[in-house]
Structure 1
Amino acid sequence: MKLIKYLALPFYLAKRGVKIMKKNLSVITMSLVAALMLSACSEGTAGAGKTEVDDVIKIVWYPNESGTDMKSSREEIGRVITEATGKDVEHQLTTDYAIAIETLVNNNADLAFMGAQGYIEAKEGNEVIKPLVVPTGASGTLDDAMYHSWLAVNVDDQENFKMDDEFSLDTIEGKKMSFVSNSSTSGFVVPASTIIGHYAEKSGFEDLSQEDLMEGGTLFSQVLFGNSHQGSAVNLLSGTAEVAAFCDTCVENYVEVVEGDTNKVGSVYKVKEDAAEPFNTVTGSEFTLMGVTPVLNAPFVANTDVLGQEDYDLLQELFTSDDIANNEKIFVPKDSGESGLFFKSDQERFSLVEDAWFDPIRELSN
Structure 2
Amino acid sequence: MKKILTLIISLSLVAVAAGCGTKAAGDTKGAAAPVKTKDTITIAWYPNESGAELKDAREELGKAVAAATGKKVEHKTTTDYIIAIEAIASGGADLAYMGPQGYVEANAKNNKVQPLVVSSGESGTLEDAVYYSWLGVRKGEEAAYKNGSAFAIDKIAGKKFSFVSNSSTSGFKVPSANIVNYFSKQDQYKKLTVDDLLQGGKDKFFSEVLFGGTHQGAAVNLLTGKADVAAFCDTCVANYVEVSSGTANTPGAVYKVKQGAAEPFNTQVGKEFSLISVTPVLNSPFAINTGTVSAEDTKKLKDAFTSDAITKNPKIFLPKDSKDAGVFKQKSGKEKFLPVDDAFFAPVRMLSSN
Compute the TM-score of the two structures, normalised by the length of structure 1.
0.88
Greater helix fraction, Structure 1 or Structure 2: 1
Query: 2:168 is aligned with what amino acid?
Result: S
Counting only pairs closer than 5 Å after superposition, residues 3-22 of structure 1 correspond to structure 2 as 3-9=3-9, 11-13=11-13, 17=17
Aligned to 1:260: 246
- How many residues matched? 337
Aligned to 1:210: 194
Aligned to 1:357: 344
Query: 2:39 is aligned with what amino acid?
Result: D
Looking at structure 1, the residues matched to 16 and 88 of structure 2 have their Cα atoms a distance apart, in angstroms, of 31
Looking at structure 1, the residues matched to 69 and 194 of structure 2 have their Cα atoms a distance apart, in angstroms, of 42
SS in 1 for 2:158: coil
Whether the 8 Å CA contact 1:133–1:350 is kept in 2: the answer is yes
Looking at structure 2, the residues matched to 185 and 287 of structure 1 have their Cα atoms a distance apart, in angstroms, of 21
* CA drift at 1:15: 5.1
Does the alignment pair 1:134 with 2:118?
yes
Looking at structure 2, the residues matched to 294 and 147 of structure 1 have their Cα atoms a distance apart, in angstroms, of 6
Query: 1:362 is aligned with what amino acid?
Result: R
Aligned to 1:228: 214
Aligned to 2:32: none
SS in 1 for 2:141: helix
Whether the 8 Å CA contact 1:12–1:194 is kept in 2: the answer is no
Q: Which consecutive segments of 4 or more residues in structure 1 shift more than 3 A?
A: 7-22
- Which ranges of structure 1 fall in alignment gaps of 5 or more residues? 23-50
Looking at structure 2, the residues matched to 88 and 325 of structure 1 have their Cα atoms a distance apart, in angstroms, of 22
- Which ranges of structure 2 fall in alignment gaps of 5 or more residues? 23-34
Whether the 8 Å CA contact 1:9–1:295 is kept in 2: the answer is no
SS in 2 for 1:289: strand
Counting only pairs closer than 5 Å after superposition, residues 104-119 of structure 1 correspond to structure 2 as 104-119=88-103
* CA drift at 1:311: 1.0
Aligned to 1:48: none
* CA drift at 1:10: 5.6
Looking at structure 2, the residues matched to 12 and 171 of structure 1 have their Cα atoms a distance apart, in angstroms, of 24
Counting only pairs closer than 5 Å after superposition, residues 85-124 of structure 1 correspond to structure 2 as 85-124=69-108
Whether the 8 Å CA contact 1:237–1:287 is kept in 2: the answer is yes
Counting only pairs closer than 5 Å after superposition, residues 8-47 of structure 1 correspond to structure 2 as 8-9=8-9, 11-13=11-13, 17=17
Looking at structure 2, the residues matched to 21 and 178 of structure 1 have their Cα atoms a distance apart, in angstroms, of 29
Whether the 8 Å CA contact 2:13–2:350 is kept in 1: the answer is no
Question: Which of 315, 321, 327 in structure 2 is aligned with 1:335?
Answer: 321
* CA drift at 1:162: 2.5
User: CA 1:268–1:178 in structure 2 vs 1: closer, same or farther (change >3 Å)?
Assistant: same
Q: Write the deviation string for residues 275-323 of structure 1: whole angstroms up to 9, x where unpaired.
A: 0000001111000000000110000001111122211111001101111
Whether the 8 Å CA contact 1:21–1:210 is kept in 2: the answer is no
Aligned to 1:244: 230
Looking at structure 2, the residues matched to 184 and 269 of structure 1 have their Cα atoms a distance apart, in angstroms, of 22
Question: Which of 241, 246, 258 in structure 2 is aligned with 1:272?
Answer: 258
Q: Write the deviation string for residues 70-120 of structure 1: whole angstroms up to 9, x where unpaired.
A: 111100000111112111111011010011101111110000000110000
Aligned to 1:314: 300
Aligned to 2:29: none
